[in-house]
A and B are shown apart, each in its own frame.
Chain A
Amino acid sequence: MSTPDISWMGIFFMILLLVIPIVLDYWLRLKLAKDIIISVVRMLVQLSLMGLFLEYLIQWDSLALNITWFFVMVFAASHSAIQRNKLSFRRFWKPIMGAMVIAVAFAVLYFNALIINAKDLFSARFFVVISGMILGNSMKGIIIVLDKFYTNISKEKHRYFYRLSMGASRFEALRPWIQQSIRASLQPIIATTATMGLVSIPGMMTGQMLGGSSPMLAIKYQMAIVLVIFVAMIISVVLALFFSIWVVINRNGNF
Chain B
Amino acid sequence: MTIQFKNVFKRYDKKIIFDDLSFQIRAGARILFLGPSGTGKTTLFQLILGFDTVDSGEILIDGEPVNPLLINDLRKKVAYIPQIVELGQGIVKDILDELMSFQANTRLTHWQEKLTALLPKFNLEAHILEQQFSMLSGGEKQRLAIIIAILLEREIFLLDEPTAALDTALKQKITHYFSERTDATLLIISHDVEWRQLDGIKTINLTQ
Bound together, the chains give a CA A196 to CA B7 distance in angstroms of 66
Task: Decide: B49 and A172 in contact? CB cutoff 8 A.
Answer: no
B105 contacts partner chain A, Cβ-Cβ < 8 Å: yes
Task: Decide: A162 and B103 in contact? CB cutoff 8 A.
Answer: no
Task: Decide: B68 and A162 in contact? CB cutoff 8 A.
Answer: no
Selected from A159, A167, A254, the residue in CB contact (under 8 A) with B75 is A167
Task: Decide: A165 and B68 in contact? CB cutoff 8 A.
Answer: no
Task: Decide: A165 and B80 in contact? CB cutoff 8 A.
Answer: yes
Task: Decide: B105 and A167 in contact? CB cutoff 8 A.
Answer: yes
Bound together, the chains give a CA A252 to CA B46 distance in angstroms of 12
Chain B stretch 71-85: residues in CB contact (< 8 A) with chain A: 71-72, 75-76, 78, 80, 82, 84-85
Report how many residues on chain B are interfacial, defined by Cβ distance under 8 Å: 26
Bound together, the chains give a CA A250 to CA B71 distance in angstroms of 12
Residues of A within 8 A of B1 (CB): none
Residues of B within 8 A of A156 (CB): 86, 88
A62 contacts partner chain B, Cβ-Cβ < 8 Å: no
B99 to chain A, nearest CB (A): 6
B102 contacts partner chain A, Cβ-Cβ < 8 Å: yes
Task: Decide: A251 and B49 in contact? CB cutoff 8 A.
Answer: no
Q: Contacts A252-B72, A254-B51 hold; do A159 and B86 have CB atoms under 8 A apart?
A: yes
Residues of B within 8 A of A176 (CB): 88
B50 contacts partner chain A, Cβ-Cβ < 8 Å: yes
B189 to chain A, nearest CB (A): 14
B21 contacts partner chain A, Cβ-Cβ < 8 Å: no
Selected from A162, A167, A175, the residue in CB contact (under 8 A) with B86 is A162
Bound together, the chains give a CA A136 to CA B191 distance in angstroms of 56
Selected from A163, A166, A251, the residue in CB contact (under 8 A) with B152 is A166
B87 contacts partner chain A, Cβ-Cβ < 8 Å: yes
B104 contacts partner chain A, Cβ-Cβ < 8 Å: yes
Task: Decide: A165 and B104 in contact? CB cutoff 8 A.
Answer: no
Interface residues of chain B, those whose CB is within 8 Å of chain A, are 46, 49-52, 68, 71-72, 75-76, 78, 80, 82, 84-88, 98-99, 102-105, 152, 158
User: 24 pairs across A/B with beta carbons < 8 Å?
Assistant: A158-B86, A161-B49, A161-B51, A162-B82, A164-B49, A164-B75, A165-B82, A165-B158, A166-B75, A166-B99, A166-B102, A167-B72, A167-B75, A168-B103, A169-B102, A169-B103, A169-B104, A172-B102, A176-B88, A251-B68, A251-B72, A253-B51, A254-B50, A254-B51
